[in-house]
Chains A and B, each alone.
Chain A
């Protein structure tokens, strides 16, 4: 084997090794970062208005996209569900189909994905720009810890906001399903709500949805603040960090959703 080929193979292996160790190292840094956030949280909670402000920016300002998406997803779900259920003469089961799909899966997952795109990317860009313009360094030099003043409030703002947004997504989705199923297609009003009431349980359906959205909230918020804090202090660095937030958050949501679904709804035993 020629030395060029050997060199190429060695270079390829080195790159793979570098990528793997780099990822593990970042994962370790992110874990330590999470511990540091939790450690600084009591300090952040002493100025609760900072966290409330972040709930407003991450949560309240995401309402339009969440509610509109929820409405349309519910409407589409109702149309598609009706088409399928009608084949088996079970079109009156539409209410339960819409509600379970939204509460168990689509509410937390879709709200998480939308939250990562709208609020997560904004959090990363804001923190990254604060780093680039030396605002974080200035804070440190003023003996104010950025972890307590900037990072922890944004993290908790996201963790609180996402479950609430997911609940609203599901509520508007069900309303959208009602509009199409009952008002447009003409399914019986009582059957739609009655089937839903009988088929959807608070435990485990609703609670599992809440648990999912809470876990997604932690994952997305951690990724958003970590990528911002770890961004290279350049325009390109902030742009890369923002993209990474959306990509990593989306993958994390989908992977965590699968893992949690395996544990929560094993083989339809519920």
Chain B
């Protein structure tokens, strides 16, 4: 199991952002959001219990990543509540928001590793920025995080020297560097070969259980998610259209869930983007 940063670090942060230890890790209540006038989320309500892995699934552009950004406080909802450990994220002052983020880990879609730093330096980055730990301890912590993702031997590589799967694992090690209470994964399986895909999925489950964190996985990879998550929400056109445990999803007769799980081209999510009638479009210039 990865080594832990000193407990005082987390206690101080918990005090700063006044987290409720008994509240659910995340609660979204009737959340709506729009980019300019384009609505993205419409009345999203979901709960992520502590210690669980919850997947948010849906097609590209359905608003999955926007949900993560709302939880992380990068965006503010148009209406509704976004609570993390009982704290309303949109209402936090910048200092409290930054204190809260120190308890978060986030894995970005393509890793977002700092390209001018080695693998070791990338993982040491949050430790150096937020703690006063001696260099020897930082070294040990970094190596332990790398061991947890199986890349201790790649500590001195630069990000450009890593494969897609390795970069994702390094980013994962960086996301858990400060032993976060909540880890958010934005498309952790996108663009990975089958072996890397299985490895990343397994690491997410193991780290969640070993560190006792809560995880939110935004993905459209239904098979890998069903193997590792505790609960799933399906989002389409900014709304939650289905939810359930992996077993319930497998057995579901819901047309949307079936279309998503079976990968059918047409169904509740139409193949064609809304447009004028085909015949009218084709014969528009015919007198």
Task: Enumerate chain A interface residues (CB-CB to B < 8 A).
Answer: 129, 133-135, 137-138, 140-145, 149
Contacts and interface: CB of A to CB of B under 8 A. Distances in A.
B115 A141 contact: no
Contacts of A145: 98
Q: For this complex, into which size category does the number of interface residues on chain B fall?
A: 10 to 19
Nearest to A145: B98
Nearest to A136: B112
Interface in B56-107: 72, 74, 98-99, 101-102, 104, 106
Contacts of B126: 142, 144
A133 B101 contact: no
B99 A137 contact: no
B115 to A, nearest CB: 7
B129 A144 contact: yes
Contact of B108 (A129, A138, A143, A144): A138
Contacts of B74: 137, 140-141
Nearest to A138: B112
Given A133-B112, A134-B112, A135-B114, A143 B106 contact: no
Contacts of A138: 106, 108, 112, 114
B119 to A, nearest CB: 15
In this complex, the member of A133, A135, A141 whose beta carbon has the largest number of chain B beta carbons within 10 angstroms is A141
Contact of A134 (B101, B102, B110): B110
A133 B101 CA distance: 20
In this complex, the member of A134, A140, A142 whose beta carbon has the largest number of chain B beta carbons within 10 angstroms is A142
A51 to B, nearest CB: 15
A133 B74 CA distance: 16
Given A133-B112, A149-B129, 9 more contacts: A129-B115, A133-B110, A134-B110, A135-B115, A138-B114, A140-B101, A141-B104, A141-B106, A143-B99
Interface of B: 72, 74, 98-99, 101-102, 104, 106, 108-110, 112-115, 125-126, 129-130
Contact of A141 (B99, B101, B110, B114): B101
Contacts of A137: 74, 108, 112
A266 B110 CA distance: 57
B112 A135 contact: yes
Closest 6 CB pairs of A and B: A138-B112, A134-B112, A143-B101, A143-B98, A141-B106, A143-B102
A134 B108 contact: yes
A11 to B, nearest CB: 22
A143 B95 CA distance: 9
Contacts of A142: 101-102, 106, 125-126, 129
B218 to A, nearest CB: 14
B115 A133 contact: yes
Contacts of B112: 133-135, 137-138
A134 B106 CA distance: 11
In this complex, the member of A137, A138, A145 whose beta carbon has the largest number of chain B beta carbons within 10 angstroms is A138
Contacts of B72: 141
A266 B125 CA distance: 53
A145 B108 CA distance: 17
B181 to A, nearest CB: 13
B79 to A, nearest CB: 24
Nearest to B97: A143
Contacts of B115: 129, 133, 135
A136 B108 CA distance: 11
A135 B112 CA distance: 5
A149 B113 CA distance: 15
A39 to B, nearest CB: 12
A143 B126 CA distance: 9
